[in-house]
A = this chain, B = another copy of it.
Amino acid sequence: MAENIYVRRANYYETDQMGIVHHSNHIRYFEEARLSFMHGIGCDVSEMEKSGIIIPNTDAYAKYHKPIRFYDRVYIEVRLEKFNGAVMRYEYTARLENGDIASTGYTTHCFTDSSFKPMTLKRKFPEYYKKLKDNIWREE
Which positions in A face B, CB cutoff 8 Å?
8-9, 11-13, 15-20, 22-25, 27-28, 31-32, 35-36, 39, 44-46, 49, 54, 56-64, 67, 69-71, 107, 116
Contact = CB atoms under 8 A, between A and B. Distances in A.
How many copies of this chain sit in the oligomeric assembly? 4
Contacts of A70: 17, 45-46
A29 to B, nearest CB: 9
A70 B44 CA distance: 10
B13 A22 contact: yes
Given A17-B15, A54-B18, A35 B116 contact: no
A28 B13 contact: yes
Given A12-B35, A44-B71, A18 B56 contact: yes
Nearest to A19: B17
B35 A71 contact: yes
A24 B51 CA distance: 25
B13 A24 contact: yes
